[in-house]
Structure 1
Amino acid sequence: MILEKIFEVRWADLDPNFHLRHSVYADYCASLRMSVLESLGFGFRQFMKYQIGPVLFQENITYIKEVPPGSDVRVTMKIGGLSSDSRKFRICHEIYRRSDGELSARLEVMGAWMDTVKRKITVPPDELLKVMENYLRTEDFHSL
């Protein structure tokens, strides 16, 4: 399954230099992660039902080529690693300019699933694990 989404760069997404603002890259990637879960059948209702949610420990962005005003970008997603019990995850994104297909940025997040009542890291429910089986894996996928 292809895990990607197209985003239209809006005026509000630009910085004073007319580049895509740094925080927007993270917003696009977060939106894709949640859209993928929703499209695979694990949306906000399931998060509330299981009292679970994603929490990020680290987010790294490498900027490669600028994204100018009036552009669209294609954001992709692959899973780069899981802990043996699937509590922790590494997700890797690539952001491409649609106009020429050039790679614009890479973003990687390290996170886990949190019990939203106990406020502790927890093993995801089987329903969520089945959804995550649909994620493409990076070539360097490894156990965390």
Structure 2
Amino acid sequence: MSTVYEGHVIWAQVDANMHLRHSAYADFAAQARIAMLNDLGLDFSALKRLQLGPILFREELQYLREVGINDTVKIHSLLVKTRKDGSRWSIRHELYRSDGVKAAIINVDGAWMDVAKRKLTALPEDLARQFLTLPKADDFEEEAA
């Protein structure tokens, strides 16, 4: 099982070759992560109150098939790796076209930042437990701190 975000490809996301531009794939994956966090109760107001923000260390995109304008895409998101406290994590996003063809795989490695101190931090314990309930990939691994 994975969390699923659905989006529509608009004119501004298309490049000169008349298909989804490279950075739009990353934008869809970012929106899928935000939707996933919202489902956990970590919406922008909660993050602001906690002075937390998700940051990325690495983002890797593998392009498999073209996606065209006016297509609807579905992004399936899975937790691939995390520390037990949820402080560091890796998420895999698989982007599918409306015809069911997998068009891209987006892998990200990230962490949480205390936006006031500008330093890496862990989630509060209750939110870390909740974060660990995210759907996990078949190759999921828990990392030592």
TM-score (norm 1): 0.93
| Mapped pair 1:118 → 2:120 | no
Residues 114-140 of structure 1 deviation map (CA, whole Å, 9 limit, x = unaligned): 111111111111242233133111111
Contact 1:56–1:109 at 8 Å: present in 2 too? yes
Q: CA RMSD in A?
A: 1.4
Q: Give the deviation of 1:2 after TM superposition.
A: 4.2
Determine the C-alpha separation between the residues in 2 that align with 1:5 and 1:86: 22
Show structure 2 runs of 5+ residues with no match. Answer: none
| Matched residue type, 2:134 | Y
Equivalent residue pairs, number: 143
Match of 1:135, SS?
A: coil
Determine the C-alpha separation between the residues in 1 that align with 2:65 and 2:107: 17
Match of 1:121, SS?
A: strand
Of 71-80 and 1-10, the range deviating more from structure 2: 1-10
Alignment of 1:123-138 (within 5 A): 123-138=122-137
Determine the C-alpha separation between the residues in 1 that align with 2:17 and 2:105: 20
Which residue of structure 2 lines up, in the alignment, with residue 73 of structure 1? Answer: 73
Determine the C-alpha separation between the residues in 1 that align with 2:141 and 2:135: 13
TM-score (norm 2): 0.92
Q: Give the deviation of 1:32 after TM superposition.
A: 1.1
Which residue of structure 2 lines up, in the alignment, with residue 38 of structure 1? Answer: 38
Which residue of structure 1 lines up, in the alignment, with residue 139 of structure 2? Answer: 140
Which residue of structure 2 lines up, in the alignment, with residue 92 of structure 1? Answer: 92
Show structure 1 runs of 5+ residues with no match. Answer: none
Aligned sequence identity (%): 37
